Structure 1
Amino acid sequence: MTTREQHSAIFNYQSTIHDLRSTIYDFITHADLATFDDHTFNALALGLFEYQFQHNTVYQRYCQQAGVTSARLAHWREIPAVTTSAFKRVPLACFPHEQATTVFHTSGTTQQRAGKHYFRDLQFYRAALLRSFKAYCLPDCGPIRFLFLAPTAKHFPNSSLGYMCTALRDEFGAAASAAFFTPEQLQIGCVRRAMESASKENTSVFIFGTAFNLLAFMDECAAQSIRFELPAGSRVLDTGGYKGRTREILRAEFQNMLCACFGITKNFLLNEYGMTELSSQFYESRLPHTPLTDEREGVKFMPPWVRVLAVDPNTMQPLPSGEIGMLRVYDLANVDSVSAIQTEDLGRAWQDRIELLGRASDAELRGCSLLTEMIK
C-alpha cells in the first residue's frame, strides 16, 4: 500500500465533506495541546488539501500550474502555500465568496488594496481561538475583567482582531469588562479610570491591546507621572507592532515600560501573533500551567492543528528545524479557504513553537512575489 493509500485508509469512513469538517473540528476541540502527532496531522492536512483542491477553483489552478494534484502528495510539507498577498488579488474560498457570512479585511494604508479572508462560518475560527487562548493566557484563572485597548467587532466589523476581542469578552469576560478603542480615538482617560476602579476593588484585570495603543497609553501616563499597581493576577497582552505609526522602541524596553506602568512582573506579560489570513494564533506566555513552556525570549507556542516551516527566501524550499527563514504556516482551522499560507515574516520554526524575528526585506520577498504572480 502506498503512503497516499495509507493516509486515505485512515479516513476511509469519510464519505462526505461534512465528515471531514467534523473530524477537523473534533481535533481542534479535543486534541492534547502538548502532543504534536504528525501522523494524525498529516492525514488531516492531506484530506483538507484534497477538499480545497476540489472546491477552491483559484487554488486548484494555482496548484496545477505548480504541477501539484492531490493524488501526488504524500506529506503535508508538500502542500502548496499561497502568499498573504494573494488574498489581495482574488477570492480564495471553497464556496461562492458572495455567500460568506464573514469577511475579514487586512489592515494597511489607504493606498493599499485590502486582503480579504472569506468565511462560510466562524465555527473553526472560534473553536481554535478559544481553545488556545484559554490554555496560554488564562490557564490559572476563570472569568476575568478585560480592558481592551484594541478593536472590537462593534466598531470594526471586518477586523479579525475585532472579532477576537469580542469573542474573548463574551466567553471569558467578567463583569465590567470594557473596550476603549473606537475608529475616532483611544479613550485614555476612561482606561485610566477603569484601572483605578479595579485597583480599589482589588479585582484582577486582563489588559489586551495593540502595541501601538499600549505605547500611546503609557506615553500619556508617563507625561503625567502616573503609574499603577494592578491587583495580583493581572496581566497584559500585546499584539501587532508600531513600526511606522509611532516612535520605535526595542522589545525589551517596551516590556520594561509595561511592567513599570502597570505594576506587574514579566511573567504576566503575554504576546499574540496572528494574521487575517489565518484562523489560529500563536502565544508567548510564561504563566503557570500552560501546555508548553520555554524560557527563551520571543518564543511563541502553536496549537497541534498548526505546523510551521521556515523556508529559504530565494528557493522557497523548507529549511532544517531552527534555521532562520520565512515562515510558512499550515493551519487546519483554515477549512474553507487555503490551509497553507506563506507569510512575509522571518523567524525560526520547530515542531510546536516559533521565534518571530521581524518582517522580511524587499530582497527576501522576491520569492513570495513570484508565488503571488501565479495566483489568477
Structure 2
Amino acid sequence: MALSYVDPAVDRLCADIAALASGDPGDAGDVEARLIELAAANFPAITGFWRRTRPGTGVPDVVYKTAPPFLFDDAHRARTFRTSSTTGRVAGEVTYSERGLRLMDVSIVAGARHAVFAGLDRPVVVRLVPSAAAAPHMVMAYGMELIARTFGDPVLSTCALGPDGFVWPALRLSLDSAIAEERPVVLMGGTSAMANLCRALIENGEVRQLPAGSRAVDAGGAKSRSGAVATDELRALLDQAFGLGGGTHLNLFGMTELASQLYDSADVALGPRGERPKAGHAMVRARVRHPDDLSPRECGAGLLDVADLCVIDRPYAVLTGDWAVAGEHGVAVTGRVDRTSARGCSLVLDGITGGGRIDA
C-alpha cells in the first residue's frame, strides 16, 4: 500500500533523515531499509528491477529523462530541476516536495561545512555559476547560492557569472577587497568555468595572490561536454592565477537526481586524469558496480552507483551513467558512459530499463 506524504511514518522518516544529516547519532541502516520500503510501496515498478539486481541498486539515470519518478501523488511539487544532459540526450527532470527540498538544504550545508568551510569564518565566496534567479532549474546554481548565503561574507561574496560570461567588475571588486582585508576567498563553480577564469586572468596579466586559507571547489570535471580538464591541469592553473597551492583544491560530485554531494577525500590520484577518490559518510556513499551484472566491486573500474539517504521524493539511489574506479581511499569518478555505441555498458544500462523504463 502506498504511503501518503502526510503519513506519520513519512514524518518520522524525514525527521530521522534530518537528524542524521545534521550529525546526530542514529541508525543509517534502518533509514536505508525504510527508504527501500517507501520506494517499493510508492513506485511498484522498481520491484521488478530489484528482483533482477538486488534491493537498493540505483535507478538508472536514463529513467529521469523518460518517466521521472515522484513518490507522493498528494504532495505539492515545490521545485523542479533539470539535468544537464551532458550525453547529448534529452534533459531529464527531478521534482522536489517541500520536505525533500528541506532535506537537500540540510545535506548541502552539512557537507559543505565539513568538507570546505572548516576553520573559516565568513570567507568571501565567489561563485562561478549563474544565480539561482537566473538559472532556476539548475541545481548547482541553487546549491552554491545556498552555500554562499550560509557561510560567506554577506557583503563581499558575489556571483561572478552572468548570461554574457564573467561579471568582471563584481569579480575584481570581490577579489581585491578580500585581498585588501586579508579575508580568505572560496572560489566555487563548474570545472570548465574555473579553468577558463584562470586562463583569462593569466593571459590578461591579472593574476592575484589570494589570502591564506583561500581554497577552490570545482564541480563537473569528467562530466564536461567540452572536454574534461585534468585535475593536475586545473590545479596548476589555480596556482598560477591565484597562488592556490597544495591542499587548497577540492572537487565535488553532485547530480540533479541526488540531494547530497561527494567531495574529494584523499589527495591521491586514482583516475586516469588524476581524479581523486571521494569517500562517503553516513548519508551518502558511492559504490562501483560491475557493468555486466551490477554486482558490487570493492576495487577496480565499473559503473558509479550513489546511495543518498537524504532523498525522500524518489528512489534514494541512482545508477549514474558514470564510470568510476574504486580504491583504498574511496571512489574516483572518471567520465560519462558512452551510450552512442550499442556495446558493453550502454546495452546494460538501457537493457535493464527497457530503453528508459523500469518494468515490473
Which category describes the TM-score, using the shorter chain as reference length? 0.7 to 0.9
Residue 353 of structure 1, CA deviation: 3.2
1:294 and 2:266 correspond? yes
Identity over aligned pairs, percent: 22
Q: Deviations over 1:327-376 (max 9, x none)?
A: 11111111111112101112234798322222234432221111332426
1:360 to 317, 337, 340: 337
TM-score (norm 1): 0.82
Question: What residue number does 1:93 align with?
Answer: 70
Question: What residue number does 1:83 align with?
Answer: 60
Moved over 6 A (4+): none
Check the 8 A contact 1:309/1:329 in 2, yes or no: yes
AA of the residue aligned to 1:347: A
> What is the CA–CA distance in structure 2 between the aligned matches of 1:97 and 1:30, rounded to whole Å?
30
Name the SS for the 1:335 alignment partner: coil
AA of the residue aligned to 1:262: F
AA of the residue aligned to 1:64: G
1:169 and 2:173 correspond? no
Name the SS for the 1:237 alignment partner: strand
Query: CA distance change for structure 1 residues 276 and 351 in 2, over 3 Å: closer, same or farther?
Result: farther
Query: CA distance change for structure 1 residues 157 and 97 in 2, over 3 Å: closer, same or farther?
Result: farther
> What is the CA–CA distance in structure 2 between the aligned matches of 1:308 and 1:366, rounded to whole Å?
22
Name the SS for the 1:191 alignment partner: helix
Question: What residue number does 2:207 align with?
Answer: 227
> What is the CA–CA distance in structure 2 between the aligned matches of 1:139 and 1:261, rounded to whole Å?
24
AA of the residue aligned to 2:115: Y
> What is the CA–CA distance in structure 2 between the aligned matches of 1:99 and 1:186, rounded to whole Å?
36
Question: What residue number does 1:160 align with?
Answer: 139
Residue 247 of structure 1, CA deviation: 6.3
> What is the CA–CA distance in structure 2 between the aligned matches of 1:294 and 1:242, rounded to whole Å?
18
TM-score (norm 2): 0.85
AA of the residue aligned to 1:96: D
> What is the CA–CA distance in structure 2 between the aligned matches of 1:44 and 1:243, rounded to whole Å?
30
Question: What residue number does 2:231 align with?
Answer: 251
Residue 178 of structure 1, CA deviation: 0.7
1:267 and 2:239 correspond? no
Query: CA distance change for structure 1 residues 87 and 244 in 2, over 3 Å: closer, same or farther?
Result: closer
Name the SS for the 1:146 alignment partner: strand
Check the 8 A contact 2:124/2:174 in 1, yes or no: no
Question: What residue number does 1:283 align with?
Answer: 263
Check the 8 A contact 1:210/1:239 in 2, yes or no: yes
Check the 8 A contact 1:202/1:231 in 2, yes or no: yes
Question: What residue number does 1:328 align with?
Answer: 305
Unpaired runs of 5+ residues, structure 2, are 1-6, 270-275
Check the 8 A contact 2:59/2:318 in 1, yes or no: yes
Q: Deviations over 1:132-159 (max 9, x none)?
A: 1100101112221111111321111111
2:127 to 140, 148, 155: 148
1:1-376 pair list within 5 angstroms: 16-31=9-24, 40-56=27-43, 60-64=44-48, 67=51, 78-96=55-73, 99-108=76-85, 112-121=89-98, 122-174=101-153, 175-241=155-221, 246=226, 249-284=229-264, 294-297=266-269, 298-319=276-297, 321-349=298-326, 353-362=330-339, 363=343, 364-373=345-354, 374-375=357-358
> What is the CA–CA distance in structure 2 between the aligned matches of 1:146 and 1:97, rounded to whole Å?
38
Residue 276 of structure 1, CA deviation: 0.5
Unpaired runs of 5+ residues, structure 1, are 1-13, 285-292
> What is the CA–CA distance in structure 2 between the aligned matches of 1:65 and 1:220, rounded to whole Å?
48
- RMSD value, Cα: 2.6
**Number of matched residues?**
338
